[in-house]
Amino acid sequence: MKNEFSSSTFRWLACVLLATALIGCSKPPPAPPKAPPTPQEKSKNTISKAAFGTLPDGTAVDLFTMVNANGMEVRASNYGGIITALLVPDGTGKTTDVTLGLKTFDDYVKNPPYFGAIIGRYGNRIGKAQFKLDGQTYKLPKNDGPNTLHGGLKGFDKVVWQAEPFEKEDAVGVIFTYTSKDGEEGFPGNLQTRVTYTLTDQNELSFDYHATTDKPTVVNLTQHAYFNLAGDGNGDVLGHEFTIFANEYTPVNKLLIPTGKIESVTDTPFDFRNRVKLGDRVNVDNEQIKFGKGIDHNFVLKKRQQPGLTLAARVSEPTTRRVMEVHTTEPGMQFYSGNFLDDSLAAKSGKPYGKHSGFALETQHFPDSPNQPTFPSTVLRPGEEYNSKTVYSFSVR
């Protein structure tokens, strides 16, 4: 009885083992590892051009669409170099427009708050709309109370640039050139300006700025794209998390002109050295925040001690897991938390842009440098070259 039981158990076990082996054998062999795509298989980056609109003087303006091999897309016009759309994948691979913009070309001409534009000849403010260079005083137009903001009444954001698209193996882009005449908006010297936009297959959008002059002048060029990494029209950016690689900032007076001091960010709302939500910093009781109606301040980047392209900021958006990093050769960065947006613009998504609907990280020299002898110089002389580079790179975390 005992033996019988053992042998039937043994037979049953043998059957189970045999069946398992057979099932195992009938499984298809594991697929061989997939070879990386050949250059031919990889989708190719492209650049195309279409009509964007016509200025009141009859000048036709174009819109360039750059798409990289991952499907990231940038649309930029030769009117002010304005970036009208920037489509970037989120943590699930879904691509959404993350830059603020307007509905039509005519809306852009009606003087919006510099959405997506190249800023020049002098980014940010020049106090009392004047500066002295080599003993001579230059008077500029006042377009921000008694001060000059972003190059004057008709800055580089409102001019038509020559545009030359280019394609490379792993990048596409447009070279924008513009000659700002001697005396234009009050600035001395014919300024030959070139700004190259490049979209790489590594999801980087870079801006290379170059200028030369035939008379001593001041130059401070930047890009004024506004971002909402949760997607354009998707509420405010107060939940975005910022890290800014700056130990100091330049405090301002109530008209947002720097006092001339360079102060530590320690124990101020401007300490972004460890990741912090924007909302935790714009609704605090602080005189500087009051002056800016939020953050509208120049950060003195740590890179002052390190030449070349270095990390200035990292921004992440928790719901979509998008991350944007800013690398720059510039010593400063104006962090503007969209404080003047007031629901009044023809937003492209149809949803109004309220306060803090977007943020801008404008890499640059410090505001009002032409009147601030202790700030890094923005003077450009004949024979010298102005060179500056900033890279916005996009990823997910």
Radius of gyration of the chain, Cα coordinates, nearest whole angstrom: 27
* Binding residues with ligand GLA: total (CB under 6 A): 11
Question: Which of 131, 336 has the CB closer to ligand GLA?
Answer: 336
> Interface with ligand GLA by CB under 6 A: which range of 26-34, 152-160, 333-341, 379-387?
333-341
Q: Counting contacts by CB under 6 A, is residue 227 touching ligand GLA?
A: no
Question: Which of 90, 368 has the CB closer to ligand GLA?
Answer: 368
Residue of 224, 240, 356, 365 marked active site: 224
User: What are the Cα distances from residue 142, in Å, to 104, 237, 262, 264?
Assistant: 28, 31, 26, 31
Q: Counting contacts by CB under 6 A, is residue 360 touching ligand GLA?
A: yes
Which x/- pattern, by CB under 6 A, does the window 58-87 give for ligand GLA?
A: ------------------------------
What dihedral do alpha carbons 292, 98, 105, 75 form, nearest 10°? Answer: 130
Q: Least distance in Å: CB of 226 to ligand GLA?
A: 9
Is 362 in the active site? Answer: yes
Q: Counting contacts by CB under 6 A, is residue 336 touching ligand GLA?
A: yes
Question: Which of 204, 296 has the CB closer to ligand GLA?
Answer: 296
Q: Counting contacts by CB under 6 A, is residue 366 touching ligand GLA?
A: no
Contact (CB, 8 A) for 378 and 367: no
The rounded distance, in Å, linking the Cα atoms of 299 and 365 is 10
Residue of 185, 241, 317, 362 marked active site: 362
Query: Nearest CA to 100 among 111, 79, 119, 86?
Result: 86
Q: Least distance in Å: CB of 34 to ligand GLA?
A: 47
Question: Which of 149, 163 has the CB closer to ligand GLA?
Answer: 149
Q: Least distance in Å: CB of 152 to ligand GLA?
A: 13
Contact (CB, 8 A) for 234 and 368: no
Question: Which of 64, 207 has the CB closer to ligand GLA?
Answer: 207
Contact (CB, 8 A) for 359 and 335: yes
Q: Counting contacts by CB under 6 A, is residue 149 touching ligand GLA?
A: yes
Is 384 in the active site? Answer: no
Contact (CB, 8 A) for 136 and 155: no
> Interface with ligand GLA by CB under 6 A: which range of 132-140, 195-203, 320-328, 332-340?
332-340
- Contacts for 18 with CB less than 8 Å, ≥ 6 apart: none
The rounded distance, in Å, linking the Cα atoms of 53 and 97 is 21
Residue sitting closest to ligand GLA (CB): 336
User: What are the Cα distances from residue 355, in Å, to 20, 109, 279, 344?
Assistant: 66, 22, 12, 10
Joined together, the tokens standing for residue 262 give 């360079």
Q: Least distance in Å: CB of 149 to ligand GLA?
A: 5
CB atoms within 10 A of CB 16: 10
Q: Counting contacts by CB under 6 A, is residue 296 touching ligand GLA?
A: yes
CA angle 107–111–113, rounded 5-degree value: 100
> Interface with ligand GLA by CB under 6 A: which range of 80-88, 264-272, 305-313, 334-342?
334-342
- For the chain, first and last CA: distance in Å? 66
Which x/- pattern, by CB under 6 A, does the window 231-270 give for ligand GLA?
A: -------------------------x--------------
Place of tokens 């953050």: 295
The rounded distance, in Å, linking the Cα atoms of 226 and 365 is 19
Q: Least distance in Å: CB of 224 to ligand GLA?
A: 6
At 204, is the secondary structure helix, strand, or coil?
strand
Question: Which of 77, 222 has the CB closer to ligand GLA?
Answer: 222
Catalytic residues: 224, 362
Interacting residue ranges for ligand GLA, rule: CB under 6 A: 113-114, 124, 149, 256, 296, 334, 336, 340, 360, 362
